[in-house]
Structure 1
Amino acid sequence: MKRVTLAELQQLPATVDLLTAARALGLGRTKAYELAKKGEFPCRVIRVGVAYLVPTADLLKLLGVDPPTSFPR
């Protein structure tokens, strides 16, 4: 699994899919979905239909990265 760089983190949109967040945290797919389903993913997860979305600001905060002053459109 390829790790996410700081530059890539700072270019993320307002929300990311669960697998992108998992990759940033060094988690595998199976573990990420297991934690999300149990409500134990390390940051907030929003369920939209069958999709799991993670607010980028929450992910960046967890990683100790300052969010950009504005998100890409």
Structure 2
Amino acid sequence: MTSDERAMTHDELINLPVTVDLETANRALGLGRTTGYSLARGGRYPVRLLPANRGYRISRYDLLRHLGVGPDGCGVEAEVA
């Protein structure tokens, strides 16, 4: 297993830049390259995609929120409807 294939640690997630590429988001979400790109092309990616020059970017905020990690590194409480 290469370093790109292993799951991200909590510290790695918290220290992500403001936006990340699809490869990085796939790794954070535990998705393989093929699955991640297929979901993105099909409009079914689990977080909002930001169109970029020749691909996509994903905001750290959306990624951490989807994973249940707050901006302070703690868990996010479920929103009350």
Count of aligned pairs between the two proteins? 69
What is the alpha-carbon distance in structure 2 between the residues aligned to residue 29 and residue 57 of structure 1? 21
Please state if 1:15 is matched with 2:19.
Answer: yes
What is the alpha-carbon distance in structure 1 between the residues aligned to residue 45 and residue 32 of structure 2? 12
Give the alignment's Cα RMSD to 1 decimal.
Answer: 1.3
Q: Which residue in 1 is equivalent to 2:34?
A: 30
TM-score normalised by the chain length of structure 2: 0.80
Determine which structure has greater relative contact order: mean sequence separation of CA pairs < 8 Å that are 6+ residues apart, divided by chain length. Answer: 1
What is the alpha-carbon distance in structure 1 between the residues aligned to residue 10 and residue 58 of structure 2? 17
Pick the structure with more helix per residue: 1
What is the alpha-carbon distance in structure 2 between the residues aligned to residue 47 and residue 12 of structure 1? 19
Among all aligned residue pairs of Structure 1 and Structure 2, give the percentage whose two residues are the same amino acid: 49
What amino acid sits opposite 1:58 in the alignment? D
Please state if 1:46 is matched with 2:30.
Answer: no
TM-score normalised by the chain length of structure 1: 0.88
What is the alpha-carbon distance in structure 2 between the residues aligned to residue 67 and residue 54 of structure 1? 16
Uncovered stretches (5+) of structure 2, i.e. residues with no partner: 73-81
Deviation (angstroms), 1:60: 0.1
* Corresponding residue to 1:60 among 57, 61, 64: 64
What is the alpha-carbon distance in structure 2 between the residues aligned to residue 44 and residue 27 of structure 1? 15
